[in-house]
């Protein structure tokens, strides 16, 4: 777990602490060797871009996953615990409409409509993840929601929230933990893809994916302008997947 934790911790620490220690540097020559990691195609310091770029690259992805679990998890718990079939169908069936839609296409359309809006991209990524999260939580909670323990808690006049969060909610922690690694990795991929394609944030934004996209033509001139943000993205996604796999294996 040590190496996986390091792979996650380094880019996460850069994303959190980087904006606090970054200092504006006067632009220099494009793709020069000035500074620790040189400059990018606009003459901006690559190290400074790397320090601030994770704020959007990881912030939007993690925010989207949190929203997806908040909305989708709530829908799944309500659908699993309700005694009314019409409510279960009414909550889950509309989400099936979103399942066949290509995620990247939906997010790209939203990103183009609300150009350079980090909030719009975050909400779009969350929206395409809500259906699968809701179905996952519903399937994982069905057995616990219909168990005698829940009936006993109801007879003891326990509140709905106490039952769902205290007992039924605990039953979905295992499946959620198993899904979390893939879900966050997918969110990072979707956010980075939209920004890399130039459909999301401004082309001059300090986002890691935008930086890779903008400087890829100068890879041979100044490799660090591409490698630094790319390595941070790869480190986070690879490390988080390894970390999630090992945590799930220990809970089995």
HEC secondary structure over 66-123: HHHHHHHHHHHHHHHHCCCHHHHHHHHHHHHCCCCCCHHHHHHHHHHHCCCCHHHHHH
Is residue 23 left, alpha or beta, with left meaning phi > 0 and alpha meaning psi from -120 to 50? beta
**Angstrom distance (rounded) from CA 206 to CA 186:** 21
> What pLDDT does 232 receive?
93
**Angstrom distance (rounded) from CA 19 to CA 7:** 20
3-state DSSP assignment of residue 39? strand
> What pLDDT does 1 receive?
56
Where do the domains of the chain lie?
A: 2-251
Give tens-digit pLDDT for 13-41: 999 998 888 666 667 788 887 878 888 88
- Distance between terminal CA atoms of the chain? 16
**Angstrom distance (rounded) from CA 95 to CA 134:** 9
In order along the chain (252 residues), what is the average pLDDT of each group of 10 residues?
82 89 72 83 88 89 93 87 79 81 80 77 90 88 72 69 70 79 86 82 84 86 90 89 72 56
Tokens of 135: 């179905």
> What pLDDT does 116 receive?
65
The CATH class, in words, for 2-251 is mainly alpha
> What pLDDT does 63 receive?
93
């Amino acid at each position: 777990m040590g190496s996986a934790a390091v792979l996650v911790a380094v880019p996460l620490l850069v994303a959190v602490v980087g904006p606090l220690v970054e200092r504006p540097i006067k632009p220099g020559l494009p793709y020069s060797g000035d500074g620790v990691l040189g400059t990018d195609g606009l003459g901006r310091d690559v190290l400074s871009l790397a320090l601030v770029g994770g704020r959007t690259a990881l912030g939007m992805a993690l925010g989207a996953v949190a929203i997806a679990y908040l909305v989708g998890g709530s829908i799944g718990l309500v659908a699993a615990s309700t005694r009314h079939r019409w409510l279960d169908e009414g909550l889950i069936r509309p989400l099936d409409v979103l399942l066949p839609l290509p995620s990247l296409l939906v997010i790209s359309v939203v990103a183009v409509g609300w150009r350079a809006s980090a909030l719009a991209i975050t909400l779009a990524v969350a929206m395409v993840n809500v259906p699968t999260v809701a179905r996952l939580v519903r399937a994982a909670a069905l057995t616990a929601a219909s168990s005698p323990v829940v009936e006993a808690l109801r007879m003891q006049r326990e509140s709905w929230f106490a039952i769902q969060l205290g007992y039924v909610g605990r039953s979905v922690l295992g499946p959620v933990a198993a899904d979390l690694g893939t879900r966050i990795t997918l969110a990072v991929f979707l956010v980075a893809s939209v920004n890399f394609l130039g459909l999301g944030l401004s082309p001059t934004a300090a986002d890691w994916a935008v930086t890779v996209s903008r400087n890829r033509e100068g890879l041979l001139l100044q490799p660090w302008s591409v490698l630094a943000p790319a390595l941070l993205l790869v480190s986070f996604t690879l490390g988080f997947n390894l970390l999630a796999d090992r945590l799930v294996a220990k809970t089995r």
